[in-house]
Amino acid sequence: MKSIRMRVNGQPVEREVPDHRLLVDFIRYDLGLTGAKEGCSVGVCGACTVLLNGQPVSSCLALAVMADGGEVTTIEGLAEGERLHPLQQAFIDYGGFQCGICTPGQIMASKALLDANPHPSAEQIKEWMMGNLCRCTGYYKIIEAIQAAAAGKTGP
Amino acid sequence: MNPFTYTEPATIEEALAALTRYGDEAKLIAGGTGLVNLMKQRLVNPGYLVSLRRLSALANVSIDRDRGLRIGALCTHHALETSPIVRQHAPLLAEAARRVATIRIRTMATLGGAVAHADPNQDLPPALIALDARVKLRGPKGEREVAIDQFFTGYYETLTQPDEIVTEIAIPPSPSTNGSAYLKFLPQTADDYATVSVAARVSLNQGAISDVRVALGAAASTPLRAKAVEDALRGRVPTRTTLDEAAALVAGIVDPLADFRGSAEYKRDMAIVFVRRALTDAIAGAGGAVA
């Protein structure tokens, strides 16, 4: 067991975890934040995307102990009270999701993109988001939602 | 994943001591994207994980006019693709890093990890071979450097001893008349391993090829340097015929594994095609043209 401390969505967290606890399991089962989903379990599908120290990572491939001392942001940390993050609102307004399984990962990956590059081209969005799989939308609505959020648009 | 004990040494000396203490039971972990996947499938079951993540000095990038680039083993793929120094002095490496998997892997996976992991399908090793890189290893008896085209000894096997750590990659300065290309044949998805990948670097002198490197990924049980192709081109003026003849020689060097990305025969054919294309692009990058 290891004692780990980090900030999760701005809040300090301290827990004892087995050394082999995966970050996705730590977030979901120890902290009860079930937005990030374990989809493929091999770092391919993107459903478990969270930000670790501001960078998008596959939390299914990271060990919880490797986040010790760091800052984790999950989908639960984006809204301010009742007010959704502009990306969350844009995904609703532009139909960027249907079943919703991939959506927390899509939004965390797109947040990392806009943090690094506030006005990406459609090509840059496709390249960055290529590893977040969605089996419902056909991706165009996701790209539109990210473009809308980047442009500060509300509603189509 | 089987349980293990995780340690996070604060210095490289402590990391080396941990490797010596735990012996065969220990594995080093940096980004973890390769190792954790192997551990989840129980293909690798270390009793101890020795993490390098506190050794922040191993993430430095520096350039020296005479010695060239020196890149710390903990540099992530995303750092390589975005580093202005790497982009300027080793654009081939930056391009290969940019083509790896997805952004989530590139933010975690490291240069040293890609080298030590020695997966023959990965992208950085062929680029590093084409750049004449040297691998710096640190062990209990001190440091040594190995030319990267000698470093890979088998499927997921390298010259690294169990008590050694890959600490740095050195890339010598390239001539200014130098062009390079990294091509990755991806018939399925953009984040896949290549069916075959080719790194090429060409120097031109008065229209003739004065020096050339060609290396392939996903073409054998190790990353592969195509010396026969290089030898057929050195000193020659690049024409379509010269390139066709030189590229055809790669068929005798590659030994691809058949998998869902293609049969061995198909990969051998594609190796010829992509060697020719990579050379053509590298020659164009060096300011030349194929007559």
Are the C-beta atoms of residues B74 and B68 closer than 8 Å to each other? no
Number of domains, chain A: 2
Q: What pLDDT, on the 0 to 100 scale, is given for residue B153?
A: 98
Question: Residue B238: which residues within 8 A CB-CB, separation 6 or more?
Answer: B202, B208, B209, B279, B283, B288, B289, B290, B291
Share of residues in chain B with pLDDT > 90 (%): 97
H helix or E strand, kind and range, residue B279: helix B264-285
pLDDT in tens, B174-185: 888 899 999 999
Which of A41, A65, A68 shows the shortest C-beta gap to B40? Answer: A41
pLDDT at residue B221 tops 80: yes
pLDDT in tens, B57-88: 999 999 998 889 999 999 999 999 999 999 99
Cα(B121)–Cα(B134) distance, integer angstroms:
20
Where do we find the tokens 């890979």? Answer: B152
Q: Choose, out of B100, B102, B188, B189, the residue to mutate when testing the contact with A (most A CBs < 10 Å).
A: B102
B150 touching chain A per CB within 8 A: no
B64 touching chain A per CB within 8 A: no
Does A16 share its domain with A47?
yes
- 3-state DSSP of B150-205: HHEEECCEECCCCCCEEEEEEECCCCCCEEEEEEEECCCCCCCCCCEEEEEEEEEE
pLDDT in tens, A57-87: 999 999 999 999 999 999 999 999 999 999 9
Chain A residue with minimal CA distance to B105? Answer: A57
* Residue B209, min C-alpha distance to chain A (Å): 34
C-alpha angle B67/B70/B72, rounded to 5°? 160
Q: Write the single-letter amino acid at B98.
A: R
pLDDT confidence of B168, banded at 50, 70, 90?
very high
Domain that holds residue A102: 86-150
Does A23 share its domain with A47?
yes
pLDDT in tens, B126-140: 999 999 999 999 999
pLDDT in tens, B29-57: 999 999 999 999 999 999 999 999 999 99
| Residues of chain A contacting residue B107, judged by C-beta atoms under 8 Å apart | 52, 55-57
A56 contacts B40? CB cut-off 8 A: no
Ranges of chain A with pLDDT below 70:
none
Does A64 share its domain with A95?
no
Tokens of B83: 């580093």
Q: What pLDDT, on the 0 to 100 scale, is given for residue B177?
A: 85
First CA to last CA distance, chain A: 50
| Residues of chain B contacting residue A2, judged by C-beta atoms under 8 Å apart | 6
What are the C-alpha distances in Å from B273 to residues A18, B31, B241, B254, B280? 50, 34, 13, 13, 11
H helix or E strand, kind and range, residue A72: strand A71-73
Tokens of B67: 């010695």
CATH number at residue A56: 3.10.20.30
**Residue in A15, A127, A128, A141 with CA at minimum distance from that of residue A68:** A15
Does A51 share its domain with A91?
no
Q: Please give the domain boundaries of chain B with CATH numbers for all domains.
A: 5-51 (3.30.43.10), 56-170 (3.30.465.10), 180-285 (3.30.390.50)
- What pTM value is reported for the model? 0.96
Does A36 share its domain with A97?
no
H helix or E strand, kind and range, residue A81: none
